[in-house]
């Protein structure tokens, strides 16, 4: 990935064609090649290398394959959008996407706190540059500045937490930290302080309350193609570092960090769902929706260890993994629809832009309806089974009150998702022009919609894969 990103930068010097088809194809082939290599060398065993700073296991391989697939889909969706905007129609978009993907790969396979940090910063710096790519756009520049300043603050919190864990245990290697905690060779008071800072840094990267301030502004201000990127693949990498640092490294402190995550999860579901109701901009609504979904995903992580008993762990963590994968799939399709309607250099990110979509294109309206039903958790779409699996893990662990709270806030969330469906099917269209889209975009959008529907009918295969990957990795 690193080699090809550098090669594409050099090749760009001799490519004169404005559409840069060569660069686009090379980027996609790089992602496909990385997927083939990852799949080919995956043995299913846990292996450590680079002085135990890097771990190769089944969970990492599965998440990497999903990251490659997501980025391939994102780049296909974004292609026409960036070609219509002169400031963005550059090879740098693809190179930064590859570097961001490389950062995610490092995060997913990190077995050392510094490796986590290096991967996180590589991803974050690439995203800051992507948000600011459209330099003529004031909202994009403002969003990039906010993202950069708050991201620097979060990195500081994360590093400070890591330094305190180093002070308490004498190591930064995640497996060694777990061993020393298990043997009781750590200063507990310093450790808990470090844990608070560590969880705060992770919470910012996940975008959960009260560290969510950047999400609505960045989603709203960033070019839609970049908002799609931020809303999809990085969520998989964020889930990976939560599992690596908290579950693999600090499982002895599970009672402490689970209590923190419960508070973050409940606040995120409350603020995300209630604030989304008032939004008129679809990207901003999806930003608040993302906050609530990440809160819901945390519910699986908080119910793994109950009173020192780990028998619920696999069920709980695999339900969270299933949730984040299905959310990324649905989120990619939803932003893909916004990109599909954005034509002629104009944005179509207002909720009113979807009025009467059924009259303009019944099939695309049906695909968008599938996405909204899935996000709302309506049977029989994949979002329903994702929520059901998390709630089942929460109830099994004895947190009945938490499941009730989650269901109540999910019902609140149904309102703003179903409002989109109502607007598409029952309101007169403001624009009667037929929707023109390239063949590849039509095929991909249709496949995305059908995947959301079919995974809702047959969720067991993906659930089993998530459980098996975690079973062989934890």
Helices and strands per DSSP (H, E), number in the chain: 20, 2
**246-284 CB burial, b ≥16 within 10 A, e <16:** bbbbbbbbbebbbebbbebbbbbbbbbbebbeebebbbb
**What angle (nearest 5°) sits at the alpha carbon of residue 168, between those of residues 163 and 169?**
100
Angle between helices 188-206 and 138-169 (to 10 degrees): 160
Residue 252 has what pLDDT? 86
CB distance 269 to 406 below 8 Å: yes
CA distances from 137 to 124, 131, 149, 215, 269 (A): 20, 10, 19, 18, 32
Residue 75: Cβ-neighbour burial (10 angstroms; 0-12, 13-18, 19+): buried
Cα dihedral: 37, 41, 42, 44 (round 10):
180
284-310 pLDDT, tens digit per residue, is: 999 999 999 999 999 988 887 777 777
CB distance 56 to 47 below 8 Å: yes
Q: Give the residues of the chain that fall short of pLDDT 70.
A: 344-345
In this structure, how many other beta carbons lie within 10 angstroms of the beta carbon of residue 114? 14
How far, in Å, CA of 85 to CA of 140, rounded?
13
Residue 344 has what pLDDT? 66
CA distances from 322 to 77, 232, 304, 328, 374 (A): 23, 14, 15, 10, 14
Taking Cα atoms as reference points, which of 227, 234, 220 lies closest to residue 122? 234
Six-digit token pair at 469? 């990957």
Q: What is the DSSP track for 61-84?
A: HHHHHHHHHHHHHHHHHHHHHHHT
Six-digit token pair at 24? 């686009």
How far, in Å, CA of 102 to CA of 140, rounded?
24
How far, in Å, CA of 54 to CA of 48, rounded?
6
Backbone angles phi, psi at 453, to 5 degrees: -75, -45
Six-digit token pair at 399? 């947190």
How far, in Å, CA of 195 to CA of 190, rounded?
9
Q: Is the dihedral of CA 104, 268, 265, 381 positive or negative?
A: negative
CB distance 284 to 375 below 8 Å: no
Say if strands 47-49 and 54-56 run parallel, antiparallel, or are unpaired.
Answer: antiparallel
The SS3 call for residue 48 is strand
How far, in Å, CA of 375 to CA of 327, rounded?
7
In this structure, how many other beta carbons lie within 10 angstroms of the beta carbon of residue 21? 11
End-to-end CA distance of the chain: 27
Cα dihedral: 384, 354, 422, 231 (round 10):
20
How far, in Å, CA of 8 to CA of 69, rounded?
20
Taking Cα atoms as reference points, which of 259, 239, 264, 227 lies closest to residue 143? 227
Distance of CA 168 to the CA centre of its chain: 31
**Residue 233 neighbours by CB under 8 Å, 6+ apart:** 67, 70, 71, 74, 100, 101, 104, 328
Residue 156 has what pLDDT? 92
Residue 197 has what pLDDT? 93
How far, in Å, CA of 226 to CA of 78, rounded?
8
């Amino acid at each position: 990935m690193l080699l090809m990103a550098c090669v594409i930068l050099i090749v760009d010097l001799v490519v004169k064609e404005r559409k840069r088809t060569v660069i686009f194809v090379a980027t996609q082939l790089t992602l496909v090649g990385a997927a083939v290599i990852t799949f080919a060398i995956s043995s299913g065993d846990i292996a450590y290398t680079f002085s135990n700073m890097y771990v190769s296991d089944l969970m990492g391989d599965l998440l990497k394959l999903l990251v490659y697939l997501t980025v391939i889909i994102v780049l296909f969706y974004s292609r026409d959008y960036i070609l219509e905007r002169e400031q963005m129609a550059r090879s740098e978009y693809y190179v930064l996407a590859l570097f961001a993907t490389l950062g995610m790969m490092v995060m997913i396979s990190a077995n050392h706190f510094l490796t986590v940090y290096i991967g996180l910063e590589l991803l974050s710096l690439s995203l800051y540059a992507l948000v600011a790519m459209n330099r003529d756009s004031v909202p994009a520049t403002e969003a990039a500045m906010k993202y950069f300043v708050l991201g620097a603050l979060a990195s500081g919190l994360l590093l400070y937490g890591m330094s305190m864990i180093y002070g308490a245990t004498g190591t930064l290697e995640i497996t060694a930290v777990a061993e020393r905690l298990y043997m009781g060779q750590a200063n507990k008071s310093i450790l808990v302080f470090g844990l608070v800072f560590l969880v705060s840094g992770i919470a910012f990267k996940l975008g959960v309350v009260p560290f969510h301030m950047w999400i609505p502004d960045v989603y709203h201000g960033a070019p839609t193609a970049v908002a799609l990127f931020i809303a999809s693949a990085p969520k998989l990498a964020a889930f990976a570092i939560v599992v690596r640092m908290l579950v693999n490294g600090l499982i002895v402190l599970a009672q402490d960090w689970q209590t923190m995550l419960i508070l973050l999860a409940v606040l995120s579901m409350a603020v995300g769902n209630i604030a989304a109701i008032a939004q008129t901009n679809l990207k901003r609504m999806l930003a608040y929706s993302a906050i609530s979904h990440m809160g819901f995903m945390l519910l699986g992580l908080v119910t793994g260890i109950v009173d020192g008993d780990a028998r619920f762990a696999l069920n709980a963590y695999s339900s969270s993994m299933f949730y984040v994968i299905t959310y990324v799939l649905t989120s990619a399709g939803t932003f893909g629809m916004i990109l599909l309607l954005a034509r002629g250099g104009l944005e179509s990110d207002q909720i009113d832009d979807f009025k009467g979509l059924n009259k303009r294109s019944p099939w695309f309206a049906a695909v968008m309806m599938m996405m909204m039903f899935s996000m709302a958790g309506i049977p029989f779409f994949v979002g329903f089974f994702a929520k059901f699996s998390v709630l089942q893990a929460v109830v099994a662990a004895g947190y009945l009150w938490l499941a009730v709270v989650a269901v109540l806030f999910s019902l609140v969330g149904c309102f703003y998702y179903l409002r989109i469906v109502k607007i598409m099917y029952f309101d007169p269209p403001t624009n009667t022009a037929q929707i023109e889209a390239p063949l590849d975009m039509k095929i991909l959008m249709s496949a995305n919609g059908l995947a959301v529907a079919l995974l809702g009918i047959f969720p067991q295969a993906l659930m089993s894969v998530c459980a098996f990957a975690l079973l062989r990795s934890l």
